[in-house]
């Protein structure tokens, strides 16, 4: 079902602001994993501004939904989303990745407010999400666990061990997204280590799979609603996205996996986001 027009417009506005801030923080910090942060911005937006049952003023609220950024190198996007949701002042983002800062390139749950799990070593986050989902069952809690996995990250064998466990334990309280931007650090996923047929792989591992446009809030919402209504087991939402989404000179260029925005590049990136908004 389509989202109400006002809600779609609200989410689009927030995603635009988050992308602008990701660009700013990348410039301030000297460099960040910007391509993959921009590709997953709409997923982060719909989670943090529609679905996650959280209390930013009470980050340790025991009944909160959990979120794991398995592709932890996207910390710049996660940090910006957390600041926008009110976990800490946006001003703190000026210190992103500075020595001694609470906000490192890969976010540390002991330092960054609102981060449930430290990630960055790829392939581990989905297993941790499985653990959190199992914990909710053992504790008889209703909170849900959400996780974003990278497509390049899916080369890690541990992702598929987690996939097997989630199906084995029928974790219907676990919803994962694959940020399917078709690129990784050093090129196209299908050239480095082919993943296709990806949806069929997750289905074969026992997950219910939804394939959506990862920049379309209506499609993302439909898929999450499906997961919320589903009691049979874990759901994988394969979100087709564009690496560098919104910044014309970054889009679909693997060279922008990580980069800085010195000189004129910051103004160019901001102008591109304005044009594409
Ligand atoms: C275990 C491990 N190996 C290597 C890396 C280095 N690394 C960081 S990002 C990346 C590629 C990730 O690709 P993908 O998951 O598709 O991320 P995205 O394109 O969405 O940024 C690699 C190999 C790492 N962080 N962890």
Exposure class string for 176-194: b at 16+ Cβ within 10 A, else e: bbbbbbbbbeeeebeeeee
Stretch 150-168: mean pLDDT: 98
| pLDDT band, very low/low/confident/very high, at 224 (cuts 50, 70, 90) | very high
Residue 71 Cα: closest atom of ligand 1: 15
Rounded mean pLDDT, 167-188: 98
pTM for this predicted structure: 0.98
Domain containing residue 206: CATH number: 3.40.50.970
Shortest CA distance to 59 belongs to which of 69, 70, 48, 45?
48
The protein residue with its alpha carbon nearest to ligand 1, atom 7, reads 185
Residues contacting ligand 1 via CB (< 6 Å): 33, 35-36, 39, 71, 73, 120-123, 150-153, 179, 181, 183-185, 243, 257
Give the pLDDT band (50/70/90) at residue 277: confident
Q: Based on the number of CB atoms within 10 Å of its own CB, is 152 exposed (0-12), middle (13-18) or buried (19 or more)? A: buried
Closest atom, ligand 1, to C-alpha of 184: 13
Q: What residues make up the domain containing 130?
A: 5-276
Q: How far is the CA of 155 from the centre of ligand 1 (A)?
A: 9
What is the average per-residue pLDDT within 50-66?
A: 98
pLDDT over 90, % of the chain: 98
Tell the burial category of 248 from Cβ atoms under 10 Å away from its Cβ (0-12, 13-18, 19+).
middle
**For residues 213 and 217, what is the distance between their CA atoms, to the nearest angstrom?**
8
| Rounded Cα–Cα distance for residues 72 and 69 (Å) | 5
Gap from CA of 141 to ligand 1 centroid (Å): 32
The alpha carbon of 78 and the centre of ligand 1 are apart by a number of angstroms equal to 15
User: Would you call 132 helix, strand, or coil by DSSP?
Assistant: helix
Cα–Cα distance, 11 to 17 (Å, whole number): 10
In angstroms, the CA 150 to CA 172 distance is 21
Domains of the chain: total: 1
Tens digits of per-residue pLDDT, 88-135? 999 999 999 999 999 999 999 999 999 999 999 999 999 999 999 999
Ligand 1 pocket mutation, candidates 106, 118, 122, criterion most atoms within 8 A of CB: 122
Q: Is the pLDDT score of 44 beyond 90?
A: yes
Token pair 């996207």 in the structure block, residue? 74
The pLDDT, as a whole number, for residue 276 is 87
Helix (H, G, I), strand (E, B) or coil at 117: coil
């Amino acid at each position: 079902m389509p989202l109400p027009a006002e809600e779609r417009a609200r989410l689009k506005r927030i995603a635009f602001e988050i992308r602008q801030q990701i660009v700013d923080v990348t410039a301030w910090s000297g460099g960040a994993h910007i391509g993959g942060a921009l590709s997953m911005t709409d997923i982060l937006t719909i989670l943090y501004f529609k679905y996650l049952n959280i209390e930013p003023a009470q980050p340790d609220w025991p009944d909160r939904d959990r979120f794991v950024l398995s592709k932890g190198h996207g910390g710049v996007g996660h940090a910006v989303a957390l600041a926008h949701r009110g976990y800490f002042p946006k001003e703190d983002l000026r210190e992103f990745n500075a020595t001694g800062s609470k906000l490192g390139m890969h976010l540390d749950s002991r330092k960054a407010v609102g981060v449930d799990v430290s990630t960055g070593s790829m392939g581990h986050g989905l297993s941790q999400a499985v653990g959190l989902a199992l914990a909710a069952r053992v504790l008889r809690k209703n909170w849900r666990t959400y996780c974003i996995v990278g497509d390049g990250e899916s080369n890690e064998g541990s992702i598929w061990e987690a996939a097997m466990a989630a199906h084995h334990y029928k974790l219907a309280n676990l919803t994962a997204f694959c940020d399917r931007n078709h690129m990784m650090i050093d090129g196209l996923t299908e050239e480095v280590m082919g993943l296709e047929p990806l949806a069929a792989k997750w289905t074969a591992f026992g997950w219910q799979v939804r394939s959506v446009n990862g920049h379309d809030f209506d499609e993302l919402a439909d898929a999450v609603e499906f997961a919320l209504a589903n009691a049979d087991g874990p759901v994988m939402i394969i979100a087709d996205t564009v690496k560098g989404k919104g910044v014309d000179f970054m889009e679909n260029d693997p060279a922008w996996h990580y980069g800085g925005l010195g000189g004129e590049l910051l103004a160019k990136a901001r102008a591109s986001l304005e044009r594409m908004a």
